[in-house]
Amino acid sequence: MKFFDRLGLTLFSIIVLTLSIIVLLMGLNVIDVTLFGVLLEKVLMTQNGTYILYGVCVVLILLSLRCLFFRPDYGKEASNKGILMQNGDGQLLITKNTLEDLVASVINGMDSIDSASTNVVIDKDNNVLINVSLALADGAIIKDVSSELQTKIKKRIKDATDLELKAVNIEVVNMADAVVENTEEK
């Protein structure tokens, strides 16, 4: 939530709470109603007091309209960080870092991968795309490793988060040992 949203909501809440308590106490005859009539009359008798009262009324009206009709969409703010899931019990934000950690756990379990980097992309429709750049070990078969990795990543993410991935894109960036051996043989 932005600073001004929080500030406005806090001020509005304090003012409404104060007014509610005063009206309740007046209704219970704890506070004399004429006291506020006299106070309001004295404020309205001065020009500065009238301007202050008008200003407070305008601020209250604007804050009321803001709260009623212009609610911020926190889902969009969250989607930059991850996937926001909601159910009857509340909300769950699955961050990009969490998804990257799940992919890393799959990659660490595969001996044919020397190193890897992962990039998680979440589009405006909350589709999740995983891009993995790999350096493969000597003798690894690219087609088999990539197919196995895609299957394992999709299964791991589905099991852990119940998310369906749109795509798992794999880029093999380094297989230097295998390339050197193949060029030496020719």
66 CB-contact burial (10 Å; exposed 0-12 / middle 13-18 / buried 19+) = middle
Measured CA to CA, the distance from residue 52 to residue 54 in angstroms comes to 5
Would you give per-residue pLDDT tens digits along the chain (186 residues)?
A: 567 777 777 888 888 888 888 888 887 888 888 887 888 788 878 888 888 888 888 887 887 777 777 765 554 444 567 888 877 788 888 889 999 999 999 999 888 888 889 999 988 788 899 999 988 888 888 899 999 999 999 999 999 988 889 999 999 887 654 443 333 443
Q: How many CB atoms lie within 10 A of CB 50?
A: 12
Burial of 108 (0-12, 13-18, 19+ CB in 10 A): exposed
Beta bridge partners of residue 116, listed in sequence order: 134
Question: Largest Cα–Cα distance of the chain, in whole Å?
Answer: 104
The full set of domains in the chain, from first to last, is 3-72 (no CATH), 82-185 (3.30.300.90)
Model pTM score: 0.53
